[in-house]
Chain A
Amino acid sequence: MPPSPPSYESFRVEVLVRAGFSDARGNAARAELEQYGARGVGAVQSVRGFSLALPGGRAAAERIAAAVLADAVTDVFAVLGEGELLPLPAGFSRRIDVVKKAGVMDPAAEGVLRAVRAAGEDILAARTYSAFLVAGEPGAEALRQAGARALGNEAIEEISVGAGRPVEPLAQSAPARFLRVVVDLPESDERLLAISAAGGLSLSLEEMRAIRAHFRAAARSPTDLELETIAQTWSEHCKHKTLTGAVEIDGRRYENLLQETIFAATRALDRPWCVSVFSDNAGVVAFDEDFHVTFKVETHNHPSAIEPYGGAGTGIGGVLRDTMGTGLGAKPIVSTDVFCVGPPDLAQDQVPPGALSPLRVLKGVVAGVRDYGNRMGIPTANGAVLFDRRYTGNPLVFCGSVGLLPAGKVEKNARPGDLVVVAGGRTGRDGIHGATFSSRELHSASETLDSGAVQIGNAIAEKRLLDALLQARDRGLYTCITDCGAGGLSSAVGEMAAACGADVDVEKVPLKYAGLSYAEIWISEAQERMVFAVPPEHEAELLELFSSEDVEATVIGRFTASGRLVVRCGGAPVGDLDLDFLHQGVPRVARRAALPAAREDEPDLPSPESLGGALLQLLSAPNIASKEWIVRQYDHEVLAGTVVKPFAGREQLAPADAAVIKPRLDSSRGIAIGCGINPAYGDVDPYEMGLLAVDEAVRNVVAAGGRADRVALLDNFCAGSCERPEILGAVARVAEACRDAALALGAPFISGKDSLNNEYRCAEGSAAIPTTLLVSALAHVDDVRRAVTTDLKRAGSALLLVGVTRAELGGSAWYALHGRIGRSVPQVDLERARETFAAITGLQNGRLALACHDLAEGGLGVALAEMAFGTGLGAEVDLALVPRASGAGGLLSVERDDRILFSESPTRFLLEVAPERLAGARELLAGLPHAVIGQTSAAPRLAIRGLERALVLDEPIASLQRAFAAPLDFGSPAARPAAGGPR
């Protein structure tokens, strides 16, 4: 127990922008408040607040405010003692305070303490907050409600309208009293389940019975900590019970669905460059003689639904720790992010009760990825955003990380006698029950009830940990490492000890504040922590190294040879689990799956009156429109390795297919990163959706210059409850598609993750998300100087279209514009796809293409427009020259201009080829469908002739560009409240 603090006084320092200087945060807050329905809001002035516990009295507070907290040029400040309030300036009538709830992380406070002490002042504690002074006459309650939506989040913050409020700088919490809790497991099934429910354990009846049998055999009852440890380890989130369970579908039975589909394909392909697949925190593939690359994509859906900013930030923080915990520690080199949210313009009254509006979610997750990723200094260079109404209550947030791992640092094994060292952030009550929470469905009270499951990240704490860890790795100071993610220490230590045993004392774990029970310490998901196995002879060196990087590291126990996980609290045993039972004892799940049926018939849409108008509409559809507003908020160039950036061209407006990264500063070898995702196809046929996602991901990396024979894939499944046979059926068909595509294309899956139970429960019943597959691709690039971008380069080049166009519009963006799904979903010809990808790689190696873009949502029309954006050039195209064929069961004829222009047939590329290179390019494409369909022009217009030879579309590139740019340009971002923090 810490000694009681010396006497202090608390002061609040409130910092405002000086008159005559612009208050960007205040201006942004005003725009947001108006957007969220506050009327009569005049000017808004932002206030950055600091609550300080100072032994030195008011004079010290004044000195600190002037020297440390306020900017001498742009700010003014007020020092407020207890009970004192900042007077409202003339014309201002209201004040909104946004203050973090007790126990919520306040990362900015750390910097305040460091700076105040560096300035030679004494300080005991600090907290930061923010406030907004509002002019005009808005109603107090309307203002509070708009403030709660626009300026903060009630899951983690108290938002009040008033005159200002006290903010206690020191967290007050009573020390925990040690009380060992033993849980008797009753005979009755009903009461067994009640224990699971009451504890938030998310354990099924079969699982509770297995636990009861195990402890009866040992003639004792489990402690609360033992039950929690089993619940965390057995959670769907950690164990993937459903997809590794038995599934019966359409007469086929899988004993282990993933093993027999996706893993089996990887095993069958047996690529020598696959170094570690489906075993470590990330998949590992060979890069060059010295290094491997690692790749992992995680989901962080449920926390992001409740607190998008914190959820997405800790999502990226978590996947970066996966990289740092792969092998003996990989260095993250590039991040990806993919979001699935509701429509950005959904009216507030269409948002289910308790859920946040889609725009709010989107802005929050973007800010979360931005602030965490940028601070960590990892470029975020690839991603996607999809909009579908069914994601409104349950958005999806995928965060991916690629790492660089020295070739000799793949193997790791904790050895008996090694010390268990926890390093990084301190442990608090944050994120308790994250693993079991993410395995449940959300409901309308989730926003308030589950705030304990939401964490706020501290990117700088993780950056310090990364800096220290890489040095310790290179000095060989530890034998094993893993991250503290879902399940906290219980999962991390349990996993590392699986092959030996461990004996740890939770009382040694450094805490953020007193009052945590031993079980809370054990399962807390406090961020920015990793666990190391350290041979005793390296203890002193490791602790000193970490301390020199301002990282706290603590020995909490030892690995043993006992085969048991022993947990103590101050020496007293509170858990003693058999590790075999913990890791192998979970009862296997067997489920029946049903083949999903297509939802509707093929529509018979008339030809649009104006193809130009149709293309403008498509370019403005949220799923296609420019994501530049989002992308530019991410640092995509830090580490100086990003060679193909998210936007290409002279004015950087042409969206890239993939990011090309040069991981080593001293080498031109590279990787291409891309992704494929389109849930709309799954509404017609989940199997085709799976093939199409793989096709798209491979298309993207190959288009940018990645080698078709060196593509590694990741799968991320998200779906609703697999208790429903048709949802499990869709998932099983997607898994079969992944297997078939991987085998045919020779592209193995190397890692994956699933997130099931993505449902939102409200008064009208339970709403499931569309079954969603994200495929991420990583391809080898022999020399990044041969990478190809999507932007047109010069007038007079040939436009060469590779691939067949069929009337395949089911699940297309064109049908979606008309509110339709249809049935004519694109069909992937896997054999031809393999040949086509190989040919494109040949073209890129021979530097035969000036530009290359894949055809995806919106088909040929959208691809043509995107390639011209910001280049000053245009294109003239003749649709009669497009290689085409009937398809999709003959549902539709392809002989129509709109169908040729907007079909989403797979495995197609549009290339710009200089006339003198055309013969060479066509030679490489021999045997594959391809044709020159037009040429680039010096006039910045898109001119298209139809099948009847008439000009059917003639639009200035500038108007197409405006239609593409406008819809998702949200201007100022959500004002984040933390003083001095994210902005």
Chain B
Amino acid sequence: MKPRFLVLRAAGTNCDLETAFALESCGARAERVHVNRLLGGQAALDACDALVIPGGFSYGDDIAAGKVLAVELLHHLRDPILALVERGGLVLGICNGFQVLVKMGMLPGIAAPIGVQEAALTDNDSSRYEDRRVRLVSVAERCVFCGPGERIELPLAHAEGKYVPRDAALHRAVVAGGHVALRYVAADGGAPSYPENPNGSIDHVAGLVDRTGRVLGLMPHPERALLRVHHPAWTRETPPGAGEDGHGARFFRNAVLYLRG
């Protein structure tokens, strides 16, 4: 049985098609669902194995990135989303989806339940939208989407991606609790400066995972790195026999493998 993923869309979501395609090509059954349908009844959410909130500008990012959708989900779909995680399901927020999860208080999720915002993804230090490739290292021990110690290159594109914790104590809890999933790194694997850390994120945080390891949010776009030809320097190395997978495929494959048990 293919695990069933809901790819949530709202006005302004714009990465839903390629995200659903990435999931399908990694063995999932993916269905794109408009938030209006979920607001009219949560049956689809109750029947799924995973919820993906893809990238885009939900509601134009009016007020702040992901804010309007976060308020909607928090006020109308909080319980079925919590129930999904409770029963072993997955939640993945990519870019705008990550912004939504953070504004809902689901990530980093130090002090459950959700609803209390602990960190922010705020204006990039450059104060502008930037699209560029970043180098990452995965660090979380328990993230089902990506094991620790992997060097990954992904594209990223946003104006509000700077991770800022509420205060230093909160960030210590984030680190101690193993909530950092991905960090930006320099080409040599060392500490990055701009633009290797493209937005000025505190402690170079690029992705966060919750206490269960089943809720992940990240600013970079794995669905834009599904294939080898998605990498900006793919024309440089064409090793014979190398697969067509790009660096982002692992996130979707691992999620599907996990759900298949």
Interface residue ranges, A against B (CB under 8 Å)? 21-22, 24-25, 27-28, 67-69, 71-74, 107-112, 114-115, 118-120, 370, 374-377, 458-460, 463-464, 467, 548-550, 632-640, 643-645, 647-650, 652, 662, 665-666, 784-785, 787-789, 791, 793, 851, 972-973, 975, 979-981, 983
Q: Whole-angstrom distance between the alpha carbons of A942 and B27 in the complex?
A: 49
Interchain CB contact under 8 A, A648 and B233: yes
Question: Which of these, B9, B12, B117, B236, contacts A71 with CB under 8 Å?
Answer: B117
Interchain CB contact under 8 A, A648 and B235: yes
Q: Given A115-B72, A973-B127, is A638 in contact with B15 using a C-beta cutoff of 8 Å?
A: yes
Set of chain A residues within 8 Å of B236, measured between Cβ atoms: 649-650, 791, 793
Closest A residue to B12 using CB positions: A460
CB distance from A548 to the nearest CB of B (A): 6
Set of chain A residues within 8 Å of B47, measured between Cβ atoms: none
Question: Which of these, A110, A370, A638, A645, contacts B60 with CB under 8 Å?
Answer: A110
Set of chain B residues within 8 Å of A115, measured between Cβ atoms: 59, 62-63, 67-68, 71-72
Interchain CB contact under 8 A, B119 and A73: yes
7 chain-A/chain-B pairs, Cβ below 8 angstroms: A24-B125, A73-B164, A111-B60, A374-B57, A549-B36, A638-B55, A649-B233
Q: Whole-angstrom distance between the alpha carbons of A789 and B17 in the complex?
A: 27
Most A CB atoms within 10 A — which of B22, B122, B235?
A: B235
Interface residue ranges, B against A (CB under 8 Å)? 9, 11-15, 17-18, 21-22, 34, 36-37, 55-57, 59-64, 67-68, 71-72, 75-76, 103, 116-120, 122-133, 155, 157, 159-160, 164-166, 200, 221, 223-224, 226, 229-230, 232-236
Interchain CB contact under 8 A, B232 and A647: yes
Q: Given A645-B232, A972-B127, is A459 in contact with B60 using a C-beta cutoff of 8 Å?
A: yes
Interchain CB contact under 8 A, A633 and B129: yes
Closest A residue to B235 using CB positions: A789
Closest A residue to B62 using CB positions: A111
Question: Which of these, A375, A639, A648, contacts B17 with CB under 8 Å?
Answer: A639
Set of chain A residues within 8 Å of B155, measured between Cβ atoms: 637
Question: Which of these, B55, B63, B126, contacts A980 with CB under 8 Å?
Answer: B63
CB distance from A661 to the nearest CB of B (A): 11
The 5 closest A-B pairs by CB, nearest first: A377-B14, A111-B62, A640-B18, A24-B123, A24-B127
Set of chain A residues within 8 Å of B36, measured between Cβ atoms: 548-550
Q: Whole-angstrom distance between the alpha carbons of A21 and B132 in the complex?
A: 25
Set of chain A residues within 8 Å of B118, measured between Cβ atoms: 73
Interchain CB contact under 8 A, B233 and A118: no
Q: Whole-angstrom distance between the alpha carbons of A640 and B24 in the complex?
A: 15
Set of chain B residues within 8 Å of A69, measured between Cβ atoms: 63
Q: Whole-angstrom distance between the alpha carbons of A459 and B226 in the complex?
A: 27
Interchain CB contact under 8 A, B67 and A68: yes
Question: Which of these, A374, A632, A640, A666, contacts B132 with CB under 8 Å?
Answer: A632
Set of chain B residues within 8 Å of A72, measured between Cβ atoms: 116-117, 120
Set of chain A residues within 8 Å of B72, measured between Cβ atoms: 114-115, 118
Closest B residue to A106 using CB positions: B62
Set of chain B residues within 8 Å of A27, measured between Cβ atoms: 127
Interchain CB contact under 8 A, A119 and B71: yes
CB distance from B97 to the nearest CB of A (A): 14
Most A CB atoms within 10 A — which of B14, B21, B55, B61?
A: B14
Interchain CB contact under 8 A, B132 and A980: no
Closest A residue to B123 using CB positions: A24
Interchain CB contact under 8 A, A639 and B18: yes
Q: Given A73-B166, A376-B14, is A111 in contact with B59 using a C-beta cutoff of 8 Å?
A: yes
**Apart from A377-B14, A459-B57, what 19 extra A-B contacts exist at CB < 8 Å?**
A24-B124, A72-B116, A73-B117, A73-B118, A73-B120, A110-B62, A111-B63, A115-B67, A120-B75, A375-B14, A459-B60, A632-B132, A636-B131, A638-B14, A638-B55, A638-B157, A979-B63, A981-B60, A983-B160
Interchain CB contact under 8 A, B229 and A983: no
Interchain CB contact under 8 A, B233 and A632: no
Interchain CB contact under 8 A, A665 and B18: yes
Most B CB atoms within 10 A — which of A370, A377, A652?
A: A377
Q: Given A548-B34, A648-B233, A791-B236, is A112 in contact with B60 using a C-beta cutoff of 8 Å?
A: no
Set of chain B residues within 8 Å of A73, measured between Cβ atoms: 117-120, 164-166
Interchain CB contact under 8 A, A68 and B63: yes
Q: Whole-angstrom distance between the alpha carbons of A980 and B233 in the complex?
A: 35
Set of chain B residues within 8 Å of A652, measured between Cβ atoms: 132-133, 232-233
Q: Whole-angstrom distance between the alpha carbons of A158 and B88 in the complex?
A: 54
Question: Which of these, B18, B128, B157, B234, contacts A635 with CB under 8 Å?
Answer: B157
Q: Whole-angstrom distance between the alpha carbons of A648 and B11 in the complex?
A: 33
Interchain CB contact under 8 A, B71 and A643: no
Interchain CB contact under 8 A, A983 and B60: no
CB distance from A368 to the nearest CB of B (A): 13
Interchain CB contact under 8 A, A640 and B60: no
Set of chain B residues within 8 Å of A109, measured between Cβ atoms: 62
Set of chain B residues within 8 Å of A376, measured between Cβ atoms: 14
CB distance from B10 to the nearest CB of A (A): 9
Interchain CB contact under 8 A, B127 and A108: no
Main secondary structure of the interface of A (DSSP, over half): loop
Set of chain A residues within 8 Å of B76, measured between Cβ atoms: 118
Q: Whole-angstrom distance between the alpha carbons of A665 and B127 in the complex?
A: 32
Interchain CB contact under 8 A, A666 and B21: yes
Set of chain B residues within 8 Å of A22, measured between Cβ atoms: 123, 125, 200
Closest B residue to A851 using CB positions: B235
Q: Whole-angstrom distance between the alpha carbons of A120 and B103 in the complex?
A: 18
Interchain CB contact under 8 A, A633 and B128: yes
Interchain CB contact under 8 A, A464 and B11: yes
Closest B residue to A639 using CB positions: B18
Closest B residue to A705 using CB positions: B235
Question: Which of these, B61, B75, B128, contacts A119 with CB under 8 Å?
Answer: B75
Most A CB atoms within 10 A — which of B21, B57, B63, B132?
A: B63
Question: Which of these, B12, B15, B61, B230, contacts A643 with CB under 8 Å?
Answer: B230
Q: Whole-angstrom distance between the alpha carbons of A24 and B158 in the complex?
A: 14
Set of chain A residues within 8 Å of B233, measured between Cβ atoms: 648-650, 652, 791
CB distance from B126 to the nearest CB of A (A): 7
Most B CB atoms within 10 A — which of A458, A645, A789, A851?
A: A645
Question: Which of these, A107, A110, A370, A377, contacts B129 with CB under 8 Å?
Answer: A370
Set of chain A residues within 8 Å of B13, measured between Cβ atoms: 377
Closest A residue to B124 using CB positions: A24
CB distance from B158 to the nearest CB of A (A): 9
CB distance from A313 to the nearest CB of B (A): 12
Interchain CB contact under 8 A, A74 and B122: yes
Interchain CB contact under 8 A, A74 and B164: yes
Set of chain B residues within 8 Å of A374, measured between Cβ atoms: 57, 129, 157
Q: Whole-angstrom distance between the alpha carbons of A22 and B164 in the complex?
A: 10
Set of chain B residues within 8 Å of A645, measured between Cβ atoms: 232
Set of chain A residues within 8 Å of B61, measured between Cβ atoms: 111, 375, 980
Q: Whole-angstrom distance between the alpha carbons of A639 and B62 in the complex?
A: 22
Q: Whole-angstrom distance between the alpha carbons of A838 and B15 in the complex?
A: 37
Interchain CB contact under 8 A, B71 and A972: no
Set of chain B residues within 8 Å of A972, measured between Cβ atoms: 126-128
Set of chain A residues within 8 Å of B64, measured between Cβ atoms: 71, 980
Set of chain A residues within 8 Å of B223, measured between Cβ atoms: 640
Q: Whole-angstrom distance between the alpha carbons of A639 and B232 in the complex?
A: 15
Interchain CB contact under 8 A, B62 and A637: no
Q: Whole-angstrom distance between the alpha carbons of A72 and B170 in the complex?
A: 14
Interchain CB contact under 8 A, A632 and B221: no
Set of chain A residues within 8 Å of B232, measured between Cβ atoms: 645, 647-648, 652
Interchain CB contact under 8 A, B60 and A107: yes
Q: Whole-angstrom distance between the alpha carbons of A463 and B60 in the complex?
A: 10
Q: Given A71-B122, A73-B117, A640-B21, is A114 in contact with B59 using a C-beta cutoff of 8 Å?
A: yes
Q: Given A112-B62, A640-B223, is A787 in contact with B235 using a C-beta cutoff of 8 Å?
A: yes
Set of chain B residues within 8 Å of A638, measured between Cβ atoms: 14-15, 18, 55, 157, 224
Question: Which of these, A114, A648, A788, A973, contacts B128 with CB under 8 Å?
Answer: A973
Q: Whole-angstrom distance between the alpha carbons of A980 and B157 in the complex?
A: 18
Interchain CB contact under 8 A, B128 and A784: no
Closest A residue to B13 using CB positions: A377
Interchain CB contact under 8 A, A460 and B60: yes
Q: Given A28-B127, A975-B127, is A107 in contact with B62 using a C-beta cutoff of 8 Å?
A: yes
